[in-house]
Structure 1
Amino acid sequence: MSPVETVRGAVDSAELGRTYMHEHVFVLTADVQNNHPGEWGDEDERVADAVAKLRALAAQGVRTIVDPTVIGLGRYIPRIQRVAEQVPELNIVVATGVYTYDSVPFFFHHRGPALGAGVPDPMVDMFVGDITEGIAGTGVKAAMLKCAIDREGLTPGVERVMRAVARAHHLTGVPITVHTHPGRRTGAEVKRVLCEEEGVEPARIVLGHSGDTTDCDHLAELADAGFVLGMDRFGINVGTTFEARADTLVEMCRRGHAGRMVLSQDAACYIDWIDPGALAFLPQWHYLHLGEDVLPHVRERGVTEEQITAMLVDVPRRFFEGPR
């Protein structure tokens, strides 16, 4: 077994238990929140709401969530500490990295490689510091690296972040989650850049949002290549349906890939990217959807308890433990 860093300190990997590998606590636009605090409202009320929602999740038997909120998503660890202290029955694992679909944040435009070939990228040191020393003086250490490649593909900015994440991985051993766009088969670019060129083992990478496609042949190819597939957007039924997501999971289990998948909802206690009124059109997008709706559905269609345990307990544990 191996220690895994959480908001409240390291726990043994055997203690992670049932784990949701991609859930946010808050997703925020930092500049807007800092300059227009009326949108956010009362801090104590927001924290109390998050505590209540996460306690309800823990009551379902979930013991760990991985929160991949990084630069570009409004990460603010002191607030997450306040929440975690009030939900001691739930481990919250946090991440470091940069979330972008196109260019790097302006902070990096005229630093590092932008100044010339061979100039070290400051992102690497920032990521490594978050992992080895802690984030912003809080003492909370990241246990996951995060980058993204979406519909826009491998832009220069996306590639720069991806390579910085790979280098931080090699310096720390921390695994990686990548926001992908399976409809555009961006997993192939992840494979080329992170694995073939940067030497990261596919088993140390979650291809996030793999469940956004119903192309099981494509997903099976990625699973056979050694990647962990993030079936992690249950409840976001935009351009798809509950049945499509769930039945894709059933088919992948039928093909024998339960040992290569993890589950989640990509939900949040609060996300300021969406008008609160619009969330009424996504009634299943919340922390309890997997337990209330998805697992009963897939059980009825032949997914076994052993397979569910593999996806929720065994695969996450092995992912954090790394090679032995």
Structure 2
Amino acid sequence: MSTIQTVGGTVDSGDLGITLMHEHIFVLTPDIQQNYPDEWGSEEDRVADAVGKLRKAYHAGVRTIVDPTVAGLGRYVPRIERVASQVPVNIVAATGIYTYVDAPNFFMYRGPALGPAVPDPMVDMFVRDITEGISGTSVKAGMLKCAIDHQGPTGGVERVMRAVAKAHLMTGTPITVHTHPGSEAGWHVKRVMCDEEGVDPSRIVLGHSGDSTDCGHLAALADAGFVLGMDRFGINLETTFEARADTLIEMVRRGYADRMVLSQDAACYIDWVEPSLMPALPQWHYTHVFEDVFPYVLERGVTQEQIDTMLVDVPRGFFEAS
């Protein structure tokens, strides 16, 4: 067994149990929240709401949630500590930067922006979050996070990816990457982070792989060694429930249950979405896979053992390889 860092302290990997590998507690826009606090409303109500939703997830069977909320997504660990202290669910916090195009302006005249031989301060920031703690707290990050979307490997995106790769090689902390499978962004991850920076692809979850129904492409990425994040169940705007579930069924049929992890990419509150629009996404919550997805796939040939592999065995093995 290995020791895993969570918001509440360390846990043995054998105690992770059913693990949702990509869920958020809060996703926020800090400049908006700081300048227009009425949007957020009551801090006590927001925390209480999150506690209630995580307790519901626990009663559904969830024992661990990986929360890849990093800079660019409104990470505020003291608030997550308050939530974690009131729920029995392990929460794994992350470090990294979330951007589709440019690195934050903070880095405009720092590090390699001043010359290719200048060390990137991003690396030190990520390593400090992992080894010392986040934002002056004792909470240590247990996951690294970066992103690449349809814009591809822009200069800012590639810089963050390389910094995350370097921090991984220094600490052994695993990586999750927001990807855009429609543009086959996983292959950019392979080139930059694996071929050029030296990260073993088995240490990377390619997030949002389930946005694609191209099982040939997904199989090729799994064969290359990556873990596939089938992690947006419930977000059925540009796709359907059936498309996501049928893709999972087909990938299991092809023998890839041991290369996939499951989630919903849900949040207790995300300020990117006007609250009045949330009823259009009635299945976007922490227990959708238990209530809707698993009954559907079990009726169509997926076994409970295979579900347990994706929910328990693959996450545990992913962290134990650190």
TM-score range normalised by the length of the shorter chain? over 0.9
How many Å apart are 1:117 and its aligned residue? 1.6
- 2:180 aligns to what? 181
Give identity over the alignment, percent: 72
Mapped pair 1:171 → 2:170: yes
Q: Which residue of 1 aligns with 2:233?
A: 234
- Residues of 1 paired with 2:116 and 2:103: CA distance? 17
Counterpart CA distance in 1 for 2:9 and 2:137 is: 11
Counterpart code for 1:59 = H
Shift of 1:238: 1.2
1:23 aligns with 2:23: yes
Q: Does 1:280 align with 2:279?
A: yes
Partner in structure 2 of residue 265 of structure 1: 264
- Confirm or deny that 1:35 pairs with 2:35: yes
Q: What does residue 217 of structure 2 align with? A: 218
Deviation at 1:12, TM superposition (A): 0.2
Distance 1:110 1:294 in 2: 47
Give me the CA root mean square deviation: 0.6
Other structure's SS at 1:146 match: strand
SS at match of 1:38: helix
Kindly state the Cα deviation for residue 306 of structure 1 after the two structures are TM-superposed: 1.2
What is residue 77 of structure 1 aligned with on the other side? 77
Query: In the alignment, what sits opposite 1:13?
Result: 13
Q: Which letter maps to 2:197?
A: E
CA distance in 2: counterparts of 1:198 and 1:309, whole angstroms: 33
Q: Secondary structure at the match of 2:239?
A: coil
What is the CA distance between 1:160 and its match in structure 2?
0.1
Structure 2 distance, partners of 1:146, 1:322, is 17
Choose 113-122 or 263-272, whichever is displaced more: 113-122
Q: Describe the SS at the equivalent of 1:262.
A: strand
Aligned partner letter, 1:159: E
Q: Aligned with 1:294: secondary structure?
A: helix
The whole-number CA distance in structure 1 between the counterparts of 2:44 and 2:104 is: 30
Output the CA distance in 2 between the equivalents of 1:284 and 1:60.
Answer: 15
Residue 246 of structure 2: aligned partner: 247
- Match of residue 95 from structure 2: 96
Secondary structure of the structure 2 residue equivalent to 1:10: strand
Aligned residue identity for 1:66 = V
Give matches, 1:99-110, under 5 Å: 99-110=98-109
SS at match of 2:38: coil
Distance 2:194 2:124 in 1: 21
SS in 2 for 1:177: strand
Return the alpha-carbon distance in structure 2 between the equivalents of residues 307 and 194 of structure 1. Answer: 29
Q: CA deviation at 1:120?
A: 0.6
Query: Which position in structure 2 is the counterpart of 1:63?
Result: 63
Q: 1:167 offset after TM fit, Å?
A: 0.3
Which string of whole-angstrom CA distances, capped at 9 and with x for unpartnered residues, describes residues 51-98 of structure 1?
A: 0000000000110000000000000000000000000x2000010000
Instruction: Give the letter aligned to residue 79 of structure 2.
Output: R
1:47 aligns with 2:44: no
Q: TM-score, normalised by structure 2?
A: 0.99
